[in-house]
Amino acid sequence: MIKIDLDNLPQHIAVIMDGNGRWAQQHTIGRIRGHRKGAQAVRTIIKSCREIGIKHLTLFAFSVENWERPVEEVNALMSLLEEYLTKEINELHKQGIKLSFIGDTKRLNPAIREKLRLAREMTSKNDKMILNLALSYGGRDEIIHAVKKIVSDHAEGKIAVSDITKENFNKYLNTAGMPDPDLLIRTSGEYRISNFLLWQMAYTELYFTKVLWPDFSKDDLFMAIASYQKRERRFGLTSEQLKEENIRTGNRTNV
């Protein structure tokens, strides 16, 4: 078992769950069965994060670019999502997990949107962990949407140009109210961010592993956290400044 420091956990972990297709290929089965196996890894990781006390977990379940995949695959991913929300919601609720969703969810079919609404409503008072699913999500789209809303609020006199600050910009994003991710995990040996949380990951620690998503285990999660815990997060400061600041204020959080 990998050792991690439970007093120095990332408060927000974001995950790009990549490699379902290659896992399926390796096992000479269809891609859809790879995604099904990937959904099992989703269960394991949520449970492990909840157990150790991670406060926010964001999973990239479906990107805005994924709509361009073959229609059978898109449909299968949608069915899997619907099935997941139907079967897992009671267990998630029991574990005190609050569900939230980011992305252009209006593009999802009405049955899934209704499931999202119910899941959000049912778990709204839970506070053990926030599970944030990115669905039909694209970072550039999110930023453009925020800019359009700021322009329209400005035209209506609701925001002055001088009030367009980093902090206020955050409020226009899908992730309003959430801390930025401290740690990004990407599986399958690809070294890209792929349009995920572009604004929010300015200071996120990046962790890449060759493990394919369906094989990603609790041990793999702990390895990622252990790697994060070895790093010094300087937020643009020098090591010396950081030490002084830590002594003065305790640990620095995301700014």
Q: Are 79 and 36 in contact (CB under 8 A)?
A: no
Q: Return the number of the residue (38 or 181) whose C-beta is nearest ligand FPP.
A: 38
Distance CA 88, CA 78 (A): 15
Catalytic residue flag (residue 66): yes
Based on C-alpha coordinates, what's the Rg of the chain?
19
What are the beta bridge partners of residue 132?
Answer: 58, 100
Tell me how far, at minimum, the Cβ of 225 lies from ligand FPP, in Å.
20
Q: Are 76 and 35 in contact (CB under 8 A)?
A: yes
Q: Return the number of the residue (33 or 252) whose C-beta is nearest ligand FPP.
A: 33
Distance CA 85, CA 80 (A): 9
Q: Return the number of the residue (43 or 171) whose C-beta is nearest ligand FPP.
A: 43
The residue from 66, 126, 170, 195 that is catalytic is 66
Tell me how far, at minimum, the Cβ of 203 lies from ligand FPP, in Å.
25
Q: Return the number of the residue (81 or 146) whose C-beta is nearest ligand FPP.
A: 81
Residue linked to tokens 């269809």: 30
Tell me how far, at minimum, the Cβ of 148 lies from ligand FPP, in Å.
27
Which residue's CB atom is positioned nearest to ligand FPP? 21
**Secondary structure of the chain: what % helix, strand, coil (to 5)?**
50, 15, 35
Q: Detail the DSSP E strand segments found in 51-154.
A: 56-63, 97-102, 129-137
Tell me how far, at minimum, the Cβ of 67 lies from ligand FPP, in Å.
11
Q: Return the number of the residue (34 or 146) whose C-beta is nearest ligand FPP.
A: 34
Distance CA 242, CA 227 (A): 19
Residue linked to tokens 């010396």: 240
Residue linked to tokens 């992305």: 103
Tell me how far, at minimum, the Cβ of 27 lies from ligand FPP, in Å.
12
Residues near ligand FPP (CB under 6 A) are 17-22, 35, 38-39, 42, 59, 61, 66, 77, 80-81, 84, 133, 188, 213
Positions annotated as catalytic residues are: 18, 66
